[in-house]
Amino acid sequence: MPRVNHKILRWARTTAGLDEEQAAKKLGMKDTKKTSAVEKLRTLETGDVPPTRSQLVKMAKHYRRPLLTFYLSDVPRIGNRGQDYRTLPGRVETTQEALVDVVIRDIRARQALVRSVLEDEDEAVQLPFISSLQMNDGVDTAIDSLKKYLKWKLNEYRNQPDMDKAFAFLRGKAEEAGVFVLLIDNLGSYHTTIDVEAFRGFALADDVAPFIAINANDTKGAWCFTLLHELVHIWLGETGISGNYGEQTIEKFCNDAASEFLVPMKEIRQLEIHNKTDFETAKERIKQFAMRSKVSNTMVAYKLCRAALITYDRFKEFKTAFRADHLKWKAAQKLKTKEKNGGPDYYVTKKHRVGSGLINLVARMMQGGTITTTKAGRVLGVRPQNVPGVIEHSHPQAVQNFV
């Protein structure tokens, strides 16, 4: 039996986004009079004590790694993120970067399963818009192509009753075009919440089964902007991770295309906001316009900056203020939920995070007996026993057919 490489134990823990205390708790380690749980974990990670088979199985589960990983001769290279388009602030922690790697690894695994299923069923159709665009084609060309394949009418989007419905409308258009859209906020608990500063969106520009992941911890208005931003990356054929208003040329191109798609510049110029406008007056005017247009406050401020109506420093002031407002609102919502003695239904939440595109595909494949419950759970990001419950919220008849 090959020996476990103790160096990989620590690597697997840190890349799973867990500190020593969190990992020891998940592995079921207990404090004793002589040794603490953390000290027990350290003896495994330093190689002083070899892990038991039971401990390795738990590590594989909680570190989200195949069991064979722990027997490799050396620490594996970081998973392929594609291009990293982020401009990271100095305060992003190593733990957050580890969480981002776990998210991307998970998305790639789910995407590979989806593509495999489509190929097995001879449904792997190459999508015409993947890599159909180049930046020198210009923003207007990008917008025209997006409108064509999304069958887009701006007034239909803006007529949605609220931001939830507006995002669902845009997401539905993307899914109808063949793009799977996920919302991700953590890796299963609040301990693994992913900071918006570390990760805002990810695009996997596969020509058969493209995926987009959006950080659900952002504002709902920002979800729409991020989805469009990542769609432009897919049109460019660029797989990669995006942050908050990156400074790279490609990020500015994607931002300009996404923002112009949702709010034409001519509307921004009519707001009568400039650098000398009183901050609170401008802020309120931005909020009212954003609410009517079904976009984020920060996106409107970004458009004002790109139009040279306000400076970049003033844009950052607005961005900070709107972020603070969002966090305050989020805390109030959390308190309301707590007072109601519970949160939203598990299956409703999962359906919202996974999206109808993936659920519809899994339901159809399960009805045809072409995908196992285990693989279905992997694709949907739930345990196999929870697959019927997730599907039932969208396809009650389908559950009766395969249960």
- Looking at the fold, whether 145 and 33 belong to one and the same domain comes out as no
- In this predicted structure, the answer to whether residue 91 has a pLDDT above a threshold of 60 is no
User: Who has greater pLDDT, 144 or 327?
Assistant: 144
In-domain check, residue 164 = yes
| CA distances (Å), origin 255, targets 152, 199, 232, 278, 323 | 18, 16, 9, 26, 18
Final residue in a domain of this structure, among 220, 238, 257: 257
Residue 84 lies in a domain: yes
Q: What average pLDDT does the chain have?
A: 88
Determine, yes or no, domain membership for 353: yes
Q: pTM here?
A: 0.80
* Final residue in a domain of this structure, among 235, 257, 279: 257
> For residues 128 and 146, what is the distance between their CA atoms, to the nearest angstrom?
12
Domain count of the fold of the chain: 4
Owning domain of residue 31:
6-71
Question: In this structure, which amino acid lies at residue 144?
Answer: D
247-280, pLDDT tens digit by residue? 678 998 999 999 999 999 999 999 999 999 999 9
Q: The sheet that has 201-204: what strands, in order across it? A: 83-84, 240-242, 201-204, 211-215, 180-184
Residue pLDDT, tens place only, 6-35: 888 988 888 777 889 989 999 999 999 889
Whether residue 332 is contained in a domain is answered as no
pLDDT value of position 1: 46
| Strand ranges for 311-356 from DSSP E | none
Integer angstrom CA distances of residue 149 from 174, 195, 242: 9, 32, 23
Are 57 and 113 in a shared domain? Answer: no
The CATH number covering residue 67 comes to 1.10.260.40
Residue 230 and residue 101 in one domain:
yes
Same domain, 137 and 244: yes
